[in-house]
Amino acid sequence: MMGTLAMAARAARVTQAEWHGATFIHPAAIAVTALLALWLFLASRRTALLPLMALICFIPSAQRVVIFSADFTLLRIMVLVGIARILTRGELSSIRFNRIDWVYLAWVLVGSVVYVLQRQEFSAVVYVSGTSMDMLGAYLVARALVQTMGDFRAFALIAAAIAIPVGAFFAFEMSTQRNLFAVFGGVREITWVRDGRLRCQGAFSHPILAGVFWASIGAMTMGGALARTLKPLQRLLFVAGTCAAVVVIVASASSTPVLGFVAGVGFWLWWPVRNWMRYVFIAAPFVTVALHMAMEQPVWHLVGRMSAVGGSTGYHRFILIDGAIRHLGEWWLVGTPWTGHWSSVFQTWDITNQYIFEGVRGGIWRLGLFVVLIYLVARSIATAQGRVTDKSDRLLLWGLGASLFVHCVCFIGVSYFGQIQYLWYISLAIGASAYAPEFCGSASRQATMSRPKRVQQFFESPRDAELTGA
């Protein structure tokens, strides 16, 4: 049995899609996942997301077990372990569901139903069952484990800590053109070169997705790096994590994560005048309409001009958006199974835009719920920031908002698949938790007091220590 698994792990590297439907797993991946699953099940609430994040960042998503034609990736198995944990420890019942949760549930259900109606095949039912398990499972696990500001601070510290070894792996790949994670299969052993630049991907499904993942994390950890009231060790970890995230972004050599991170930095530049941000977002649609009327080309033609590295395919993104608008009648009701005819020159079957992907998969209903969900999460983060009194917490929440903004910008240039989807579900869950007044209130202090001393001393802020008398 183990010999067969080892042979599978040494098989030729092929594209991500070709792993579906067949068991493909490395013995080391089994051992690592078993240890991480045990950690997830037994750990304290504030460290329980660390094994999930570690699996996301260090094991390629091609690793999977197929049972009766149903794919169980290692991440999916880890989510099931997380669900078992929150059920057996009563953590699920502690969630106070709000409107973000219901919109999220509607987004998942509508997308699943519309996709099945669109395809009208049993395979579509199997597919949406798996994707719905991922979406609902990862969301519920993160929702149960991150319920207070202290929990979110711990998650941010975990992300910063994981960024450091990930950055080291990417630096190694950039200097040697060898991807050490190729031993597991599912990723290239020899790093892809485009226009003379190495496009490093590490354990991630694609270099763009690796860069976007860490662009969003880097925008978030920047809040801790700027928070002078945090403990020196915590701030040092945030600084190191942010720098490591930048290394990954550079190593990915892709325009989308670079532009996304620039957008995140731009979001941070608004911090001194943050009270005026609402007026910026109110004015944005009017400015967009004015540009559209003044330009010879449609305003979405600007997407085709954006490039941060050589060889960027920004014009393909423009053609895709233009095609979606011109063929609105084809997909608005129940989506469409094929978009290749939107252009005779460009590969418009490759939906490299999350917004268009939402519409193509679920019609205007899924796209609308997706946009509403983002709006509600942004409002929730802004509301939580107004409730907290500690400046370091405000900066961390602003970082969460910057991370959300990075995702929204990058959605124009890529549609998510693989590991980064789980980060997106986790981010939405944290935004939903921030909606509750208890997120910033006494519940946070009580959770701090109930933890072991050593864990408390590392994850708490100086303000927490004052409140608990530590």
Per-residue pLDDT of the chain (470 residues; tens, 9 = 90+): 334 333 333 333 334 445 667 888 999 999 999 999 999 999 999 999 999 999 999 999 989 998 877 789 999 999 999 999 999 999 999 899 999 999 999 999 999 999 999 999 998 999 999 999 999 999 999 999 999 999 999 999 999 999 999 999 999 999 999 999 999 988 999 999 988 899 999 999 999 999 999 999 999 999 999 998 899 999 999 999 999 999 999 999 999 999 999 999 999 999 999 888 888 888 988 999 998 899 989 999 888 877 667 566 788 899 999 999 999 999 999 999 999 999 988 999 999 999 999 999 999 999 999 999 999 999 999 999 999 989 999 999 999 999 999 999 999 999 999 999 999 999 999 999 999 999 987 444 444 444 445 555 666 766 665 544 44
pLDDT of residue 464: 62
**Residue 371: other Cβ atoms inside 10 A:** 14
Secondary structure element (H or E) that encloses residue 156, with its range: helix 149-176
Say if CB 427 and CB 403 are below 8 A apart: yes
pLDDT of residue 202: 97
Q: How far apart are CA 306 and CA 256, in angstroms?
A: 9
Say if CB 433 and CB 147 are below 8 A apart: yes
Beta-bridge partner residues of 197: 194
CA-atom Rg of the chain in angstroms: 22
pLDDT of residue 19: 63
| Helix 232-252 with 207-226: angle, nearest 10 deg | 160
> Which amino acid, residue 288?
T
Tokens of 435: 């909606």
Q: How far apart are CA 380 and CA 374, in angstroms?
A: 10
> How many residues are given for the chain?
470
If we measure between CA atoms, which residue out of 419, 401, 415, 411 comes closest to residue 53?
419
pLDDT of residue 164: 98
Secondary structure element (H or E) that encloses residue 319, with its range: helix 314-326
Tokens of 358: 């939402």
> Residues 298-317, buried b or exposed e (16+ Cβ, 10 A)?
eebbebbebebbeebbbebb
pLDDT of residue 417: 95
